[in-house]
A and B are shown apart, each in its own frame.
Chain A
Amino acid sequence: MNVIADSGTMLRRNFRHTMRNPMALFNGIVMPVFLMFLMVYVFGDAFSVGVDYADYATPGLMLTTICYGIGATAIAVNSDMTTGFINRLRVMDVSRAAVLNAHVIVTMLRSLVAIAFVTGVAFLMGFRPSASFAEWLGVIGIVVLTVFAIGWLTVAFGLAAKTPESAGLAAVPLMLLPFLSSAFVPAGKMGPGARQFAEYQPFTPIIETLRGLLTGTPSAGSAITAVAWCAGLALVGYLWARASFKKRA
């Protein structure tokens, strides 16, 4: 059961990293909360989306929160690789699974804590979901699944990048994707090109699923698409991470 013990050791280490890295905490929690404030309190009244803007934007901000938190993970994974830390672990026979799992799990925990914060702030700003208990469980399920998928993808980015700097940069497209989805305005209101992109990119069905669940009007169609995207991204991230690890470590 060395894998479990080692994952625990690595997890403790990565957890300490997060607590001692102000940048990770800032990007992961403060930025999304600020973005929440900006979108809802400052810009919100200017957007007409047909419903209260706090209700509209919260699901999108949940996703944005995940994306803001991952830069730290990509950099951490890459540093482990480039400083020779992973080689040290390999010579000690620490399994690949323990090293990578710990990064994914810490990313997930960090994101979930941040999402709880962001959701709390949303309530303060007028977010009034009408989801039932079962629908809330659905929300949590979709969020966890999404963080899991993006976590593996980020670990793969971190492993594939040549330097910690470029690893941090690799996470940037993921930070921008929510803006080109239905997170803040409906895709239908976007210009041509952006609209098609928003409709077909993975974040839109995930956000629509969350939005449906939170407003008590779940849609099976978008839920299936969302789960399929998450499963697909997680698989791609996992396989890519595994291949990079094998090649480089």
Chain B
Amino acid sequence: MNGSAIAASGLRKAYKDKVVLDGIDLDVEAGTIFALLGPNGAGKTTTVNVLTTLLTPDAGRVVVAGHDVVTETKAVRAAIGVTGQFAAVDDLLTGEENLLMMADLLHLPKAEGRRIADRLLDRFDLAEAAGKPAASYSGGMRRKLDLAMTLVGEPQIIFLDEPTTGLDPRSRRTMWEIIRELVASGTTVFLTTQYLEEADELADRIAVLDQGRLVAEGTADELKRRVPGSHVRLRFTGRHELDAAARILPGSTRDDEELTLRVPGDGGVRSLRALLDRLDQHSIDVEELSVHTPDLDDVFLALTGNANKEVSAR
């Protein structure tokens, strides 16, 4: 499938007088990972619930896997799989029974259900624990089982609501690996997260959600370039060069001890070339040059308005 796996326009949802989603537009290309990034209470779960047919939007149109979520609910449900924020596994059933139950609910033939369950248990390293009740699983194992249950139906599009919240670093890495494998095999993944690192690691495109609005969208690099604070750091061999460079580059900040000069700029090729040309014109030797883009944390704080002061003070 090429083109859009998920397309939403003008999505709105309010509970009584509290507006949760205030006009969201999304476009997720098939076969990619899309991350919806936002702080708690931004509306991430509500967005997932609308995209997965669990909630009806007040306004707007959502097309998932080519079907309208409101009028063609069944077709949408047949194409998607959802793993919610809390591992929705059945604690009293074993890992294997959980998977077989999914196969039964999908009305797969018994033998096929068994085969799929066994394969998923192997793939997610759960074969050894297959006969133990899920209540005895660690947090990471529960999440894996949860995702495995979603995969029994071999969905084209998978929604993961904060898939690694509460996991230890190792389990988180394992989960990332699994998500990458899914996409490599052609699945589209829509995930929500409050971790910038996660969005940065996994996502082809990232949208930043804050108080029900999308405040930015793009690749991780595009987003990083959007906030002020990018700069070029120049290091010189001696005080003389530093003085000369500081004179021709107004607005830069110098560090006499380190013999460095910090030149504000977006770090793009064009401005970098202009900077180098200028230094050449004045025959100033630069020992070392590095481009510093703010990390996603800076972007996040700047875009979600929680730390305007901090950013503008820089």
Query: Complex Cα distance A16/B102, Å?
Result: 15
Residue of B nearest to A90 (CB): B54
Query: Complex Cα distance A83/B85, Å?
Result: 9
> A162 on the interface (CB 8 Å rule)?
no
Contact of B107 among A2, A89, A90, A91 (CB under 8 A): A2
Query: Complex Cα distance A88/B84, Å?
Result: 8
Known contacts being A16-B93, A92-B77, A93-B74, is A87 close to B107, with CB within 8 Å?
Answer: no
> B149 on the interface (CB 8 Å rule)?
yes
Known contacts being A9-B104, A13-B93, is A84 close to B88, with CB within 8 Å?
Answer: yes
For B107, what are the chain A residues with a Cβ–Cβ distance below 8 Å? Answer: 2, 5
Contact of A88 among B78, B88, B92, B104 (CB under 8 A): B88
CB atoms of A88 and B74 under 8 A apart: no
The number of A-B residue pairs with CB atoms under 8 Å apart is 57
> B133 on the interface (CB 8 Å rule)?
yes
Number of residues on chain B facing chain A (CB within 8 A)? 29
CB atoms of A91 and B82 under 8 A apart: yes
For B101, what are the chain A residues with a Cβ–Cβ distance below 8 Å? Answer: 9, 12-13
Q: Mark A65-95, 1 if CB is under 8 A from B, else 0.
A: 0000000000000000001110111111110
CB atoms of A87 and B88 under 8 A apart: yes
> B25 on the interface (CB 8 Å rule)?
no
Q: Mark A124-143, 1 if CB is under 8 A from B, else 0.
A: 00000000000000000000
Q: Which of B78, B88, B93 has the most CB of A within 10 A?
A: B88
Contact of A91 among B80, B87, B93 (CB under 8 A): B80
Q: Which of B53, B78, B81, B104 has the most CB of A within 10 A?
A: B104
Query: Complex Cα distance A103/B133, Å?
Result: 20
Query: Complex Cα distance A94/B84, Å?
Result: 17
> A189 on the interface (CB 8 Å rule)?
no
> A21 on the interface (CB 8 Å rule)?
yes
CB atoms of A85 and B88 under 8 A apart: yes
B66-102 CB contacts (< 8 Å) to partner A: 74, 77-78, 80-82, 84-88, 90, 92-93, 97, 101-102
**Chain A nearest CB, measured from B224 CB (Å):** 34
**Chain B nearest CB, measured from A16 CB (Å):** 6
**Chain B nearest CB, measured from A5 CB (Å):** 6
Query: Complex Cα distance A88/B92, Å?
Result: 17
Residue of A nearest to B82 (CB): A91
> B106 on the interface (CB 8 Å rule)?
yes
> A199 on the interface (CB 8 Å rule)?
no
B148-199 CB contacts (< 8 Å) to partner A: 149-150, 153
Known contacts being A9-B105, A90-B54, A91-B52, is A84 close to B86, with CB within 8 Å?
Answer: yes
Query: What are 25 A-B pairs with beta-carbon distances under 8 A?
Result: A5-B107, A6-B105, A9-B104, A13-B101, A16-B97, A20-B133, A21-B92, A83-B86, A84-B85, A85-B88, A87-B49, A87-B82, A87-B84, A88-B150, A90-B53, A90-B54, A91-B77, A91-B80, A91-B81, A91-B82, A92-B102, A92-B106, A92-B153, A93-B77, A93-B78
Top 5 closest A-B pairs, CB basis? A84-B84, A84-B88, A9-B104, A88-B88, A85-B88
A13-B93, A21-B92, A92-B102 given; name 9 further pairs at CB < 8 Å.
A5-B107, A9-B105, A13-B90, A16-B97, A84-B84, A84-B85, A84-B86, A87-B84, A89-B105
